[in-house]
Structure 1
Amino acid sequence: MKKILVLGTGGTIASVKTEEGFKSSLDINEILRHAGIKLHNGYEIHTKNILNIDSTLIQPEDWEIIAKEVYSGLRDYDGIVISHGTDTLAHASSMLSFMVQNPTKPVVITGAMKPITEPGSDAVKNLRDSLLFAMEAKIGGIFVVFNGKVMNGCRVSKINSVDVDAFKSINYPDIAYIDEGGQIKYNANILDSYSRPRGSLKLDTQYDPRVFVLKLIPGLDSRVIDGLLDMGYKGLILESYGTGGIPYRKRNLLEKIKSISREIPVVVTTQALYGGVDLSRYEVGMKALEAGVISAKDMTKEATVTKLMWALGHTEDVDEIKQIMHTNYADEIKNISQ
């Protein structure tokens, strides 16, 4: 009999209504009881509570705890399901993709937009779909299962704050779909190209959380960067416009970036949800490349943030960090031009 481990970390799925609003309170066993889940197709389910907090309160230290639990569980279980809050779920699934490398078994992260205790909650479907995929998946890896979709964990973003279809796979196709009858329908195109493990299972939880994301807006004063450096930040992500670029007219942010890009890594991502960064497309992008920035290419914002934290945990050398950022570990990036 196969064994599945279900890890609880809290979030909306675990919340109950209080005078101060919904609060994460139920442990994973109570969640499964509310969902009516005990055994599924004869598989043995084991549970463990790691945290019980709103995912807004999640910190990088918690990702390390989760990663270690997943790595340990993969030795003894045939699949793992993690119940998580939705607000930082995409960050958690991205960081797990870097911290737990080459899993040959499915690790599924899920949650809910409506608490399990509320009528019409999406928690029951998401839990059942997640358990089904953890039990029956043809491939290993870090996945997000939500609203009937199976997505690569380092490719998801939360794109809706209230709708049950809250997550989308960004610049990457969905891996599979799970219908109401519990049938897994794989995307035939992705099974051929989906990255298989490149080595043995590896745990690597080194990271440095001192990363700041600066969203570019017209009129931004470059002196804000001086303040970030004074505060001890070791990595900067510029959330630029379109395919990427840094303004230099009137308020010269480009000059400031050029002066610091050998001191700390400066990564350019985009405010656009789809398409990614191509700094070779426009003059403003080419000038940014000449100033020494690192392109985030087509990575999600969440993958860019967590990957830079993870890279900084291994080195502060800008050239080495660029190499890490442009290395594909879990299909989080593809080689577009530049």
Structure 2
Amino acid sequence: MKKILVLGTGGTIASVKTEEGFKSSLDINEILRHAGIKLHNGYEIHTKNILNIDSTLIQPEDWEIIAKEVYSGLRDYDGIVISHGTDTLAYTSSMLSFMVQNPTKPVVITGAMKPITEPGSDAVKNLRDSLLFAMEARIGGIFVVFNGKVMNGCRVSKINSVDVDAFKSINYPDIAYIDEGGQIKYNANILDSYSRPRGSLKLDTQYDPRVFVLKLIPGLDSRVIDGLLDMGYKGLILESYGTGGIPYRKRNLLEKIKSISREIPVVVTTQALYGGVDLSRYEVGMKALEAGVISAKDMTKEATVTKLMWALGHTEDVDEIKQIMHTNYADEIKNISQ
């Protein structure tokens, strides 16, 4: 009989209404009882609570805890489901993709937009779909299952703060869909190109959280970067416009970036949800390349943030970090630009 491990970390799915608003309170066994899940198609379900917090409170140290639990569980179980809050779910699923490499079994992260105790909650469907995929998946990896979709864990972003269809796969197709009858319908095109695992199962939890995301806006004063360096940040992500570029007219942010790009890695991503970065397309992008920035290419913001933290845990050499950022570990990146 196959065994599935369900890990509880809290979040909306575990919340109950209090005088101070919804608060993460239910443990994973209570969540499964509310969902009416005890035994599923003859598979054993084992549970463990590792956190019980609103995911707004998630910190990088928690990712290391979750990663170690997942790595340990993959030795003894046939699949793993992680119940998680939605606000930082995409960050957790992305970091797990780097910390737990080459799983041959499915690791599924899910949650809910409505607490399990509330009428009409999406928690039951998401839990059942996640357990189904963890039990019967034909591929291994880190996945997010939400609203009937199976998505690559390092390709998701939360795109809606209230709707049950809260997550989308960015610049990458959905892996599969789960219909109301519990049938898994795989995306045949993605199965043909799915390239994992690339080696043996590996746990690598080294990271440095000193990464700052700076969103570019008209009028931004470059002196803000001096403050970030003074605070000890070791990596900077510029959330730029369109396909990427750094302003240099009137307020010359480009000059500042050029002066620090050999000191710390400066990664350029985009404020646009889809399409990614192509610094070779416009003059402002070409100048950014000449200034020494690293393109995030088509990675999500969440994957870019966690990958840079993970890279900094291994080295502070800018050239080595660029190589790591442009290495494909879990289908989080494809080469669409320099």
Question: Could you say what secondary structure the match of 2:154 adopts?
Answer: helix
1:258-303 deviation per Cα after TM superposition (whole angstroms, max 9, x unaligned): 0000000000000000000000000000000000000000000000
Q: TM-score, normalised by structure 2?
A: 1.00
Taking the aligned partners of 1:50 and 1:165, their CA distance within structure 2 comes to: 26
Taking the aligned partners of 2:209 and 2:235, their CA distance within structure 1 comes to: 9
Unaligned stretches of 5+ residues in structure 2: none
Q: TM-score, normalised by structure 1?
A: 1.00
Taking the aligned partners of 2:198 and 2:41, their CA distance within structure 1 comes to: 32
Q: CA deviation at 1:317?
A: 0.2
Question: Could you say what secondary structure the match of 1:45 adopts?
Answer: strand
Question: Could you say what secondary structure the match of 1:245 adopts?
Answer: coil
Q: CA deviation at 1:194?
A: 1.0
Question: Could you say what secondary structure the match of 2:165 adopts?
Answer: coil
Taking the aligned partners of 1:217 and 1:100, their CA distance within structure 2 comes to: 36
Q: CA deviation at 1:11?
A: 0.1
Taking the aligned partners of 1:337 and 1:90, their CA distance within structure 2 comes to: 24
1:106-146 deviation per Cα after TM superposition (whole angstroms, max 9, x unaligned): 00000000000000000000000000000000000000000
Q: CA deviation at 1:337?
A: 2.5
Partner of 1:264: 264
Taking the aligned partners of 1:164 and 1:153, their CA distance within structure 2 comes to: 18
1:193-231 deviation per Cα after TM superposition (whole angstroms, max 9, x unaligned): 112211100000000000000000000000000000000
Partner of 2:72: 72
1:43-62 deviation per Cα after TM superposition (whole angstroms, max 9, x unaligned): 00000000000000000000
Q: Does the CA contact (< 8 Å) of 2:142 and 2:152 recur in 1?
A: yes
Question: Could you say what secondary structure the match of 1:244 adopts?
Answer: coil
Where do 4+ consecutive residues of structure 1 move more than 4 Å? none
Q: Percent of counterpart pairs with the same letter?
A: 99
Taking the aligned partners of 2:301 and 2:194, their CA distance within structure 1 comes to: 21
Taking the aligned partners of 1:224 and 1:231, their CA distance within structure 2 comes to: 11
Taking the aligned partners of 2:196 and 2:215, their CA distance within structure 1 comes to: 35
Question: Could you say what secondary structure the match of 2:238 adopts?
Answer: strand
Q: Does the CA contact (< 8 Å) of 2:277 and 2:337 recur in 1?
A: no
Taking the aligned partners of 1:197 and 1:104, their CA distance within structure 2 comes to: 6
Q: CA deviation at 1:20?
A: 0.3
Taking the aligned partners of 1:87 and 1:68, their CA distance within structure 2 comes to: 22
Q: Is 1:24 matched with 2:24?
A: yes
Partner of 1:198: 198
Q: Does the CA contact (< 8 Å) of 2:298 and 2:333 recur in 1?
A: yes
How many residues are paired up? 338
Taking the aligned partners of 2:74 and 2:21, their CA distance within structure 1 comes to: 36
Taking the aligned partners of 1:233 and 1:70, their CA distance within structure 2 comes to: 29
> Which stretch shows the higher mean deviation, 187-196 or 209-218?
187-196
Taking the aligned partners of 1:57 and 1:263, their CA distance within structure 2 comes to: 31
Q: Does the CA contact (< 8 Å) of 2:212 and 2:233 recur in 1?
A: yes
1:46-80 deviation per Cα after TM superposition (whole angstroms, max 9, x unaligned): 00000000000000000000000000000000000
1:145-197 deviation per Cα after TM superposition (whole angstroms, max 9, x unaligned): 00000000000000000000000000000000000000000000000011221
Taking the aligned partners of 2:231 and 2:183, their CA distance within structure 1 comes to: 51
Partner of 1:99: 99
Within-5 A mapping of 1:190-269: 190-269=190-269
Question: Could you say what secondary structure the match of 1:154 adopts?
Answer: coil
Taking the aligned partners of 1:232 and 1:337, their CA distance within structure 2 comes to: 30
Question: Could you say what secondary structure the match of 1:64 adopts?
Answer: helix
1:243-268 deviation per Cα after TM superposition (whole angstroms, max 9, x unaligned): 00000000000000000000000000
Q: Does the CA contact (< 8 Å) of 2:16 and 2:24 recur in 1?
A: yes
Unaligned stretches of 5+ residues in structure 1: none
Q: Does the CA contact (< 8 Å) of 2:276 and 2:299 recur in 1?
A: yes
Partner of 1:317: 317
1:304-338 deviation per Cα after TM superposition (whole angstroms, max 9, x unaligned): 00000000000000000000000000000001132
1:60-108 deviation per Cα after TM superposition (whole angstroms, max 9, x unaligned): 0000000000000000000000000000000000000000000000000
Taking the aligned partners of 1:324 and 1:206, their CA distance within structure 2 comes to: 13
Taking the aligned partners of 2:105 and 2:292, their CA distance within structure 1 comes to: 39
Q: Does the CA contact (< 8 Å) of 2:10 and 2:27 recur in 1?
A: yes
Q: Does the CA contact (< 8 Å) of 2:93 and 2:144 recur in 1?
A: yes
Taking the aligned partners of 1:198 and 1:46, their CA distance within structure 2 comes to: 28
Taking the aligned partners of 2:191 and 2:102, their CA distance within structure 1 comes to: 16
> What's the Cα RMSD here?
0.3
Taking the aligned partners of 1:336 and 1:165, their CA distance within structure 2 comes to: 28
